[in-house]
Amino acid sequence: MVEMPVPGLYFVIANDVRARFVRPDLDNRPHTIRAVDAVTLGHSGGISPDEMPGGFAGLLAQSIIDEFAVDLFTHLVLVAPSHVLRDLIAMLDGPAAASLIGSLAADLVTVPDHELRPLLGEWLPVIHD
């Protein structure tokens, strides 16, 4: 049995004030590649969270749209508490929205990478050869 990563799979794990961008590694184990908060997202976009419609969720949605535009991922899974998830999904548009293959209503921002596999296993399939 060999676990094969899903090409282009990207998890955005968020709550009201922080987010992690997670990819499966070659063994299909989730690995955080970047963590952000409202301040870091605001600085990278040149806008304060107070100026952005939707606040942190708006900044995060724009970051996701920007990352899709530069081919950082092709398949997106959003993980966030239900109210944040609802806001993020509503703010995604076009091709970034179409890349959404799943969502999970949960706050997993503080869950260590090595504990994410069982929680995200639905999107990290095991391939038998």
Question: DSSP string of the chain?
Answer: -B--PPTTEEEEEE-SSEEEEEEE-TTS-EEEEEEEEHHHHHHHHTS-TTTSTTHHHHHHHHHHHHHHHTTS-SEEEEEE-HHHHHHHHHH--HHHHHTEEEEEES--TTS-GGGTHHHHGGGS--B--
pTM of the predicted model, to two decimals? 0.85
> pLDDT tens string for the chain (129 positions)?
444 455 689 999 999 999 999 998 877 789 999 999 877 876 555 565 566 667 888 889 988 998 888 777 889 999 999 999 999 999 998 888 999 999 999 999 999 999 998 999 888 865 433
CATH superfamily of 9-110: eRF1 domain 2 (3.30.420.60)
Q: How far apart are CA 42 and CA 30, in angstroms?
A: 26
Q: What residue spans define the domains of the chain? A: 9-110
